[in-house]
Amino acid sequence: QVLLVQSGAEVKKPGASVKVSCKASGYTFADYLIHWVRQAPGQGLEWVGVVNPNNGDVDYPQKFRGRVTMTRDTSTTTVYMEVSSLGSEDTAVYYCSRERGATYFFDHWGQGTLVTVSS
């Protein structure tokens, strides 16, 4: 079955970076975009960006450009999201999810990774 399995919880200090992984299985890796969405405590969902596993193309909303980097490793069918210059406002659960190209919906989600930024 389709699985997106994320790496475990992280605790980081302000100004540090964090790298979260999302391993995909159960489907053809290259056929689906991988998005990252986050939910801060008590807040709603926020789109962080997308990576195309087929060619590595990425797109980030303006808010995260220069601070978020998404990459993929086709040999291990794993996608990575790195967030740099962490602040307390980055404390959130980060989810990866997949979209079949240009269908605009995310049908499977990872279990979420809690990133806590605290001094």
Partner 1 sequence: EIVLTQSPGTLALSPGERATLSCRASQRVNTITLGWYQLKPGQVPRLLIYGASNRATGIPDRFSGSGSGTDFTLTISRLEPEDFAVYYCKVYDAAYSFGQGTRLEVK
With contacts defined by CB under 8 A, name the span among 11-19, 25-33, 41-49, 68-76 that binds partner 1: 41-49
* Residue 6, token pair as written in the block: 């994320």
Please count the residues of this chain forming the interface with partner 1, following the rule CB under 8 A. Answer: 21
Residue 38 CB, nearest distance to partner 1 (Å)?
A: 11
- Establish if 103 lies at the interface with partner 1 (CB under 8 A): yes
- Establish if 42 lies at the interface with partner 1 (CB under 8 A): no
Residue 3 CB, nearest distance to partner 1 (Å)?
A: 12
Which parts of this chain interact with partner 1 (CB under 8 A)?
A: 35, 37, 39, 44-47, 59, 61-62, 95, 97, 103-107, 109-112
